Chains A and B, each alone.
Chain A
């Protein structure tokens, strides 16, 4: 299910924070626009938890437009007529990059034998891809949500690789609440009898029920009460009155069930476990001796952070915490909290000021 993505097989074993290394790691990626002769116009866009490399073209499984097509394209804020845009599937995922569904050297799927990875491991893979593409220094690295974590990790650990760092609706560390929601999702997957300790790849029955519940719980955290109320309120689903049963009486239930089951068609349950784990382990300050500003000491990059006022998953205070550290490190940083009703998902939706900030920061 990799569509027509390009695959980069890393020539060196990929060392991992957990102590092991990934042999013959593969990175599936898409590119948009042309790389300039002096190779200075590349922008790396990092995707979120369940995102993938199909940034601005049709998704091969769902047939839907790319996940950030409104932002990326000729003449759009991330302008592919001027920039060479790279988007790669992170390791641990399931759209062509090495992950738990990939075949291990012994010929069977890794499943839970796949090593636990971190955000920094994902970025190490992305840096390997940039090396293979001959891109020494990015014009910018851009990411929302988990993509923002990767952008921060790249800036902190490979400071010479990006001139601009744009982080949207993200954080430098996963909070107890974030970890709690992820644990809820993981337990839903692992409670599904079809999960079979992760060894379900050869079975007819897949752990779709658990994965769907994980997605439903997570999906609620991406929205806002205001957004849910505006979209659904207490409206009933295709029925005049309550059924006095446990069908999806309410529109919001029907919507969540649809989101959950749709998700299982494009995502691997084990990948969900591994990627949420990587996010939970993310604490950029901890990686750098406990002080976040030390993570950015000596950086020459310019930073821009954006948060949304209705995002309770990665609230404005998290972005401010990063801005504070960047100020302490003396880095040039901009920050704006945008008003939008749609919660965490606002970064993917229409927002005029976001467009202006993204365009301005990348071009200014």
Chain B
């Protein structure tokens, strides 16, 4: 029934496991629709936004409802509280204003899942500290001049932003590669983080 968990990226697998069955979900930056397909198999009513037209085409071909658009400009078109969950995976750091994005997520969704690469992970720190260069790591594989990540963020930064915006952290998960790691020392140990926010 559900997609095999191994087929999903670890952050998406966490999200798929924690979205209540039968929820209404908006997946912002849904790519090829892997999370959407998994959530649909959970009986969710799931919609997507995706910037790449070929990816939208592949989603539509799976019977998924996906609107071509970008998170910065087209999320404002969605009504308040229209979804139980808004999902933004690996996209926050590419948006023009991550703070406003967080407001939008919690406007359209009663809850939000956000995943992002943690810029304070030790590999990144080491690359900067000892190399003196913008880090190119497993989690951040693209050089500074070509990366889409225009607003790097750390676990500590994100927690602070969530607090500033009055969002409640309902859950948090941390990963090093594919491996789930403890919350303790996450700001230095985690390559990726997933947060569940409530308002």
Q: Are A327 and B78 in contact (CB under 8 A)?
A: yes
Does A3 interact with chain B (Cβ within 8 Å)?
Answer: no
Which of B61, B67, B78 is A364 in contact with, Cβ under 8 Å?
A: B61
Pair A356/B57 contact, Cβ less than 8 Å: yes
Please measure, in the bound complex, the distance between the C-alpha atom of A323 and the C-alpha atom of B56, giving whole angstroms.
14
Q: B53 contacts A339, CB within 8 Å?
A: yes
Candidates B54, B66, B77, B79; contact of A334 at CB < 8 Å? B66
B62 at the interface (CB under 8 A from A): yes
Minimum C-beta distance from B176 to chain A (A): 36
Query: Could you say which residues of chain B place their CB within 8 Å of the CB of A357?
Result: 56-57, 60-61
Find out whether the CB atom of A336 lies under 8 angstroms from the CB atom of B82: no
Complexed CA–CA distance, A23 and B49 (Å): 48
Nearest chain A CB to B108's CB is how many angstroms away? 10
Q: What are the interface flags for B65-88 relative to A under an 8 Å C-beta threshold, 1 for contact and 0 otherwise? A: 111110000100111001000000
| Identity of the chain B residue whose Cβ is nearest the Cβ of A356 in the assembled complex | B57
**Cα distance A318–B45 in the bound complex, in angstroms:** 26
Q: Which of A316-364 contact B (CB under 8 A)?
A: 320, 323-324, 327-328, 330, 332-339, 353, 356-357, 359-361, 363-364
Q: Find chain B residues with CB under 8 A from A324 CB.
A: 77
**Are the C-beta atoms of B61 and A334 separated by less than 8 Å?**
no
Are A323 and B67 in contact, with the CB atoms below 8 A?
Answer: yes
- Residues of chain A with a CB closer than 8 A to B107's CB: none
- Is B64 in the interface zone, CB < 8 Å from A? yes
A360 touching B66 by the CB < 8 A rule?
Answer: no
Query: Are B57 and A360 neighbours in the complex by a CB distance under 8 Å?
Result: yes
Complex contact B53–A338 (CB within 8 A):
yes
Is the Cβ of A336 less than 8 Å from the Cβ of B65? no
- Check if B111 is an interface residue, CB within 8 A of chain A: no
**A302 on the interface (CB 8 Å rule)?**
yes
Q: Give the A interface residue count (CB, 8 A).
A: 24
In the assembled complex, the CB of B184 is this many whole angstroms from the nearest CB of chain A, namely 41
Assuming the A-B contacts A327-B77, A338-B53, A353-B54, are A360 and B67 also in contact, with contact meaning beta carbons closer than 8 angstroms in the complex? Answer: no
Bound complex: CA of A364 vs CA of B66, how far in Å? 13
Once A336-B57, A338-B53, A356-B57 are accepted as A-B contacts, the answer to whether A327 and B63 lie under 8 Å apart by CB is no
Q: Point out which of A323, A334, A361 has the most chain B C-beta atoms below 10 A from its C-beta.
A: A334
A214 at the interface (CB under 8 A from B): no
**Min CB–CB distance B85 → chain A (angstroms):** 16
CB pair B56 A334 closer than 8 Å: yes
- CB-CB contacts of B97-136 with A at 8 A, as 1s and 0s? 0000000000000000000000000000000000000000
**Known pairs A333-B65, A335-B68, A339-B53; A360 contacts B60 (CB<8 A):** yes
Alpha-carbon distance A188/B82, docked complex (angstroms): 49
CB-defined contacts of B68 to chain A, threshold 8 Å: 335-337
Are B61 and A359 in touch, CB under 8 angstroms?
Answer: yes
Answer yes or no: A189 CB below 8 A from chain B CBs.
Answer: no
The residue from B47, B53, B63, B74 contacting A336, defined by CB atoms under 8 A apart: B53
Q: Does B59 contact A (CB under 8 A)?
A: yes
A357 to B58, CA, bound (A): 8
* Alpha-carbon distance A343/B120, docked complex (angstroms): 48
Contacts of A363 in B (CB 8 A): 63
Contact A332 B65 (CB under 8 A): yes
Cβ contact within 8 Å between B65 and A334: yes
Name B82's contact: one of A323, A327, A335 (CB within 8 Å). A327
Chain B positions within 8 Å of A332 at CB level: 45, 47, 65
CB-based contact B77/A353 at 8 Å: no
Does residue A28 face the partner (Cβ distance < 8 Å to B)? no
CB pair A360–B61 under 8 Å, yes or no, is yes
For residue A333, which residues in chain B have a CB less than 8 angstroms away from its CB?
47, 65, 67
Complexed CA–CA distance, A353 and B68 (Å): 13
List B contacts of A356 (CB < 8 A).
57-58, 60-61
The answer to whether A304 has its CB under 8 Å from any CB of chain B is yes
* Distance between A164 CB and nearest chain B CB, rounded to angstroms: 10
Q: How far is the CA of A323 from the CA of B68 in the complex (A)?
A: 10
Roughly how many angstroms separate A356 CA and B69 CA in the complex, as a whole number? 19
| B53 and A364 contact, CB distance less than 8 A | no
Q: Give Cα A302 to B60, complex, Å.
A: 11
Considering the complex, give the chain A residue whose CB is closest to the CB of B62: A364
Bound form: Cα–Cα A357–B55 in Å: 11
**Between-chain CB contacts (< 8 Å), 11 pairs:** A302-B65, A320-B77, A330-B82, A333-B67, A335-B67, A335-B68, A335-B69, A336-B68, A356-B57, A356-B58, A361-B63
What is the interface of chain A, defined by CB distance below 8 A to chain B? 302, 304, 320, 323-324, 327-328, 330, 332-339, 353, 356-357, 359-361, 363-364
Lowest 4 CB-CB distances: which A-B pairs, in order?
A: A360-B61, A364-B63, A332-B65, A336-B56
